[in-house]
Amino acid sequence: MALFFKRIRHKLLISKRFGKYTLYAIGEVLILIFGIAIAVQVNNWDQKRQSKIIEISLLEDIKSGLEKDLNTFPDDISVHNQIISSSQTIIDHLENNLPYHDSLDFHFANTYGYTKIFPNKSAFETLKSIGVGVISNDTLRYQIIDIYDIWMIYLIEMGETNRQYMEHLEKNVFNSRFNEAEQWEYDLETKSFDGTMIPIDYEKLKKDTEYLYHIKTFKNKNIGHLDAVNHVQIRISQLIVAIEEEINELEK
C-alpha cells in the first residue's frame, strides 16, 4: 500500500502537476490521520473490553466471598442469643432470690463465650492491589469498601474485646466461684453449648454484686455484638444483590 502511494506521488512530481500533488498529499495525510484515529479507537475499545472482563471477574469473586461470610452469621447469631438468654436466666434467679436447681449449671456455663469472624478478603485485597477504580460504579465501590474497611473490622474488634473480657472472667471471677467447668464446648451439630459450671456456694452467689455486675456487663456486650452482626448481615445481603445487578448490567 505504501509503495502504491509512493508511485502516485512520484508520477505527479514528474509530470509537474503540483496542484494535484498538493491535494493528493493533503488527502494522504487525512487518510493517515483517519487510520490512526481508527487504530486508537480500536485500542480504546479493546482496553475497555479487557477492563470490563476484569471488573466482572472481581465482582464475582467478591460476591462469592460475601456469600461465604453470610453463611457463617447464623451460627454467630445463635451463640450470642444463647449467651444473652442464659445470662438473663441467671440474673433473674439471683435478683429474685430464686432457689438453686441443677438446670442452672448449664446456664452458668453458657453465660460466657464469644465469636470471631474471619472475612473472605482475598478478592477485596486483589481489588485494592489493582486499584479500586476498576469498579466503575461509584456507589457500588463505596459499598464494598464500607463493608470490608469499616464493618468487618468493627466486628473483628468487637469479637476481640469480648474474648479479652471472657479471659478476665475466667481468671478473676469464675475461678473463685465455680467448680471447674465440665465439658464446656460449642456443639457444631446442635448449634448449642454443651457443659456445666456448678457454683461453689449458690446462696453466697445471690448476694455477690461483683459477679452480678460482670454477668450483666458481658450480657450487654453480647447484645451490642448481636446488633452489629444483624446490621452487617443486612448490609452484606443488600450488597450481594447490588453486585448481581451490576454484573448483569456489565454483561449486556
- pLDDT tens for each residue of 11-58: 544 554 545 545 545 655 566 666 666 655 655 655 667 888 899 999
| Closest listed residue to residue 113, CA positions, set 144, 62, 69, 159 | 159
pLDDT of residue 235: 97
Q: What DSSP character marks residue 102?
A: T
Higher pLDDT, 114 or 38: 114
pLDDT of residue 31: 64
Domain ranges of the chain: 56-250
Kindly state the average pLDDT of the residues 108-115: 87
pLDDT higher than threshold 50 for residue 251: yes
| C-alpha–C-alpha distance, residues 96 and 109, integer Å | 20
| Closest listed residue to residue 243, CA positions, set 124, 149, 126, 153 | 124
pTM: 0.78
SS3 readout for 134-157 = HCCCHHHHHHHHHHHHHHHHHHHH
pLDDT higher than threshold 50 for residue 188: yes
Return the C-alpha cell found at 41. Answer: 479507537
Q: Are 186 and 75 in contact (CB under 8 A)?
A: no
| C-alpha–C-alpha distance, residues 217 and 109, integer Å | 16
Per the prediction, the chain carries an average pLDDT of 84
Q: Which amino acid is at 204?
A: K
pLDDT of residue 137: 95
